Amino acid sequence: MTEHSHRELEALMSLLEDPDNQIFDTVSDRLIELGEEVVIPLERRWEATLKPELQEKIENVIKQIQFNILHRGMDRWKSTGGTDLLYGAFLVARFQYPDLGYDPINAVIEKIKRDIWLELNNELTALEKVKVINYFIYDIHKFDKSLKKAHTPQLYLVNHVIDTFKGSPVMLGLIYAELARRLNLPIYGVNLPRNFVLCYYDQDFQDDPNGILFYINPSDNGAVLGQKELKHFLSQLKIEEKEFYYTPCSNTDIIERLVINLQYAYDRSGHPDKALALKNLFGKK
């Protein structure tokens, strides 16, 4: 920060205490415009003051800056193809934890990927490759569906899932699909209602018009399913069948589903303000 910008920042922060709402609005707009570089100085000012009113004003400015940073990050992720699912999930988690770092989360996934890669070879069938992945995810690293209620927000935050190895079906499927991508395996998400599943795709497979060899249930230790089981599942729930319930979805679809689930969790766990903010941030109903 230059000397000029430092002086401007000091002047702006001193004006935050002005009782005139119009002055405050002008000052806060300018601070928000300056963006990330003013967050740390604002946090220091928050710690230095004993005035609750001023602390609240500073908190609101910081939240808006972090909101804007996250919004731009998600827009960039989408516009560049949303390739890295883990990074998309990391951005969602930063809604709750603005200071969360990507590298520690990525390191865990890279370690699991290396473990799996050492056991894979081109001689294995698709089913055998899935068994290798399942062994490392579920037997070695002990990932599992959480027994907590579906409206527990932590089940949709990737840092918590990586720390506890317990998560929602969509988070377990997301991690599984991202590992497969890093291993160059054609395993993709499938937007099945009520239970997120995966599919193993092979364009040369003649027995299925969509090229689906089989499905994988990430919340049941990677159990392999056929389309018949998916149809039975929908029938049991009295859900009308739709073609896209059986075909690969995009990474953006997966992150959108994660966001919708997290919104629901915030709302049901007594945080409607966070649910609304998440709706505004990601534009999801």
Angle at which helices 169-182 and 126-134 pack, to 10 degrees? Answer: 120
Q: What local confidence, expressed as pLDDT, does residue 213 receive? A: 95
- Same domain? For 237 and 143 the reply is yes
d(CA 230, CA 241): 10
- Same domain? For 62 and 124 the reply is no
CATH number of the domain within which 72 lies:
1.25.10
Q: What local confidence, expressed as pLDDT, does residue 282 receive? A: 67
- Same domain? For 147 and 75 the reply is no
- Same domain? For 63 and 134 the reply is no
Q: What local confidence, expressed as pLDDT, does residue 4 receive? A: 54
d(CA 187, CA 177): 6
What pTM was estimated for this model as a whole?
Answer: 0.89
Which of 79, 113, 129 terminates a domain? The answer is 79
Q: By CB neighbour count within 10 A (0-12 exposed, 13-18 middle, 19+ buried), where does 186 fall?
A: middle
CB 138 within 8 A of CB 144: yes
Q: What local confidence, expressed as pLDDT, does residue 19 receive? A: 83
Q: Kindly report, residue by residue over 121-178, the tens digit of the pLDDT.
A: 999 999 999 999 999 999 999 999 887 787 899 999 999 999 999 999 999 999 999 9
- Same domain? For 118 and 240 the reply is yes
Which of 79, 101, 129 terminates a domain? The answer is 79
Mean pLDDT by 10 residues, the chain (285 residues): 72 86 90 92 91 91 92 92 96 94 97 97 96 97 87 95 95 98 97 94 82 95 96 93 93 95 94 90 57
Phi-psi label, residue 283: left if phi above 0, alpha if psi -120 to 50, beta otherwise: left
* Coil/strand/helix, residue 270: coil
Degrees to nearest 5, angle at CA 185 with 179 and 188: 75
Q: What local confidence, expressed as pLDDT, does residue 170 receive? A: 95
Phi-psi label, residue 165: left if phi above 0, alpha if psi -120 to 50, beta otherwise: left
Nearest to 252, CA basis, from 213, 212, 222, 282: 282
d(CA 17, CA 10): 12
φ, ψ at 112 (rounded to 5°): -65, -40
d(CA 52, CA 3): 29
Nearest to 89, CA basis, from 207, 282, 254: 254
Nearest to 131, CA basis, from 139, 141, 122, 123: 139
Q: What local confidence, expressed as pLDDT, does residue 284 receive? A: 46
- Same domain? For 57 and 151 the reply is no
Q: What local confidence, expressed as pLDDT, does residue 155 receive? A: 95
- Same domain? For 206 and 175 the reply is yes
d(CA 138, CA 156): 18
* Coil/strand/helix, residue 18: coil
- Same domain? For 257 and 155 the reply is yes
Residues 6+ apart with CB under 8 A from 214: 126, 127, 199, 200, 224, 225, 226
- Same domain? For 253 and 168 the reply is yes
Phi-psi label, residue 135: left if phi above 0, alpha if psi -120 to 50, beta otherwise: alpha
- Same domain? For 74 and 92 the reply is no
Nearest to 157, CA basis, from 266, 78, 79, 282: 266
Which of 79, 104, 123 terminates a domain? The answer is 79
**Structural domain boundaries, residue 48:** 3-79
Count: domains in the chain: 2
- Same domain? For 65 and 158 the reply is no
d(CA 88, CA 254): 9
- Same domain? For 242 and 113 the reply is yes
